[in-house]
Amino acid sequence: MDWIPKQPPEHILGKESQNPRRIFVDLGSGSYPAVFDGNRKLEEDDYYVGVEQKRTEIDRALSTDTAKNSANLDKLGGNVFFLEHNMNLSKLPFADSSVNEVVMGNILGNDNIILHTFKIFLNEANRILKEDGVLVVFDTVTPGQARYLSNPYGSDNAMLELLEKSGFEVVKEVKYGDSDFETELSKYKQSHVRLKKGNEFIMYFRKK
């Protein structure tokens, strides 16, 4: 796995004055990152950065059949980067307002992650996204839990309230059962489309 840089190059991090590239950041990319599991094809000026605290997850992500069969890795592998980074320890190395899209898949329903960390993920997403950038939040593992942020005594609306407090507003919500559910979800997570739990969702937000 030596070809994965520890840090994506400067032109990906948005520090150059001219940055014509489109940057797509996957926070907590895990072993099935959106760039491999999703069916969205990268274009030549699209760059993907998976951010993951565990080196073992990054290594696993690259060794799955999903990765090996990925058209993105095959055709535009040079546009795919992974950053080993713990969101709790430091800020992301991206410039403010430099990223087109941030994805958080199966993060907000994860009861191994505490509220303090959810806030860091969302604050960083808000900081690095361009003014017209998009935040994509989906949950296919514990979608019910995501809505109340794993706090059974909390509000069913806790996730949306936190997103709003973090500076986001909803653009679109697509739920299991909606006619465009599979099309939308499979851009990021094809494997879970087949599992069909029944209350999965994918939501799009923009900065307020």
Ligand X SMILES: C[S@@+](CC[C@H](N)C(=O)[O-])C[C@H]1O[C@@H](n2cnc3c(N)ncnc32)[C@H](O)[C@@H]1O
**By the criterion CB under 6 A, which residues form the site for ligand X?**
28-30, 32, 51-54, 57, 86-88, 105-107, 110, 113, 117
How many Å apart are CA 58 and CA 33, to the nearest integer? 9
Of residues 72 and 110, the one with the C-beta less far from ligand X: 110
Question: Closest distance between ligand X and the C-beta of residue 150, in Å?
Answer: 12
Question: Rounded to an integer, what distance in angstroms lies between the CA atom of residue 196 and that of residue 183?
Answer: 13
Q: Of the two residues 32 and 48, which places its CB atom closer to ligand X in the complex?
A: 32
Per the CB < 8 A criterion, the answer to whether 168 and 161 are in contact is no
Nearer to ligand X, 46 or 124 (CB): 124
Return the number of the residue (1 or 44) whose C-beta is nearest ligand X: 1
Q: How far apart are CA 174 and CA 203, in angstroms?
A: 6
Measured from the CB of residue 174, what is the shortest distance to ligand X in angstroms?
16
Query: Least distance in Å: CB of 158 to ligand X?
Result: 18
CA pseudo-torsion sign 119, 172, 134, 83: positive
Contacts of 164 (CB under 8 A, 6+ apart): 208
CB of 117 to ligand X, least distance (A): 5
Q: 113 vs 158, which CB is nearer to ligand X?
A: 113
Helices 158-165 + 115-128 axis angle, to 10: 40
Smallest separation (angstroms) from ligand X to the CB of 85: 6
